[in-house]
Structure 1
Amino acid sequence: MAKYLFLKHYVGGPAPVNDVPMDRWTQEEVDAHIRFMDDFADRLRESGEFVDAQALSPDGMWVRFDGEGKPPVVDGPFAETKDLVAGWMVVDVDSRERAVELAGELSAAPAAGGRPLGEWLEVRPFLDDRPNGTTSA
């Protein structure tokens, strides 16, 4: 088994197939999208492939070490970009191919007009071997 992170980007990056901004969706369209995400996660729980998922608030900030004792904070999350990571899901699957299959299905969550969103998902495997020889949890 291998863990993969699916990052859901809104706004920046390649345009989704259905590019009506979410802030212009009706409440019914938002509810259908969320229901799809919940049903998808429930199905993965049943198959044992679901690890975790969270939606993220559009509010956020950038913080970094500055060597001075108090880290600088920049309101965001869009300091340099219009990209917004809207949420993520972690799955534990048998293969890269299965991760791609699930990401493709997740990308079809309904959007405006009930049409599939067709959003690009960033699919990243977890690092399983660390340089010092230990493995990740």
Structure 2
Amino acid sequence: MRFLLLKHYRGGPDSHHEIPPMDQWAPEHVDAHLQSLRDTTRMLEESGELVDLQGLHEARVYVQFGGDGAAPVTTDGPYPETSDLAAGWWMVDVASRERAIEIAAHASSGPDHEGNPMREWIEVRQVMDDSAPGED
């Protein structure tokens, strides 16, 4: 079963403790957080569960079909809430939904700007296939 573990800049179903943007963190806390992401990736590589991962830049553009023979319509906004910005993802191939949730919880425990567990929300989405959603 493949799952997308989507890391957001902020946000989730409810608020968690406020975390300033990373450009306001002390360098040692940025390094510790990035190391926790690398450690999670290494764990997934070693277990054979990692399919892909990417970090995303904050900049983006929205594109829409402009009509036959017309150029695409693009815009830089309006921007959704900051909580809607995806920071990156891990794509994993695991035995069960429970394992995907376990990995997401681990990723959520990376250190924040003060060195404490971040407790950020990690969105877990099953990749569609021929089975019904949520089937194990």
Whether 1:74 and 2:75 are equivalent positions in the alignment is yes
* Aligned residue number for residue 10 of structure 2: 11
- The Cα shift of 1:39 comes to 1.0
User: What are structure 1's unaligned runs of at least 5 residues?
Assistant: 131-137
CA distance in structure 2 between the aligned counterparts of 1:17 and 1:103, rounded to whole angstroms: 18
Q: Please report how far the alpha carbon of residue 21 of structure 1 lies from its aligned counterpart in structure 2 after TM superposition.
A: 3.0
Q: TM-score, normalised by structure 1?
A: 0.84
Q: Give % identity.
A: 45
- SS class of match (1:87): strand
Q: How far apart, in 1, do the equivalents of 2:18 and 2:101 lie? A: 20
How much is the aligned-residue C-alpha RMSD, in angstroms? 1.8
Alignment-mate amino acid for residue 5 of structure 1: L
Structure 2 regions of 5+ residues with no counterpart?
132-136
- Asked if 1:59 corresponds to 2:59, the answer is yes
Letter in 2 for 1:56: L
Amino acid at match of 1:10: Y
> Distance in 2 between the 1:129 and 1:121 partners?
25
- Would you tell me which structure has more strand in proportion to its own residues? 1
Residues in 2 aligned to 1:96 and 1:12: alpha-carbon distance in whole angstroms = 22
Please give the secondary structure, in 2, of the residue aligned with 1:89.
strand
Shift in Å at residue 18 of structure 1? 5.4
Q: Which runs of 4+ in 1 moved over 6 A?
A: none
Task: Name the CA shift for 1:26/1:48 in 2 (closer, same or farther; >3 Å).
Answer: same
How far residue 121 of structure 1 moved from its aligned partner, in angstroms, is 1.1
1:18–1:117 CA contact under 8 A, matched in 2: no
After TM superposition, the structure 1 = structure 2 runs for residues 39-118 of structure 1, keeping only pairs within 5 Å, are: 39-68=39-68, 69-76=70-77, 79-82=79-82, 83-118=84-119
Partner secondary structure for residue 87 of structure 2: strand
Deviations 1:26-83 (A, max 9, x none): 111111111111111111111111111111111111111131521111115x623322
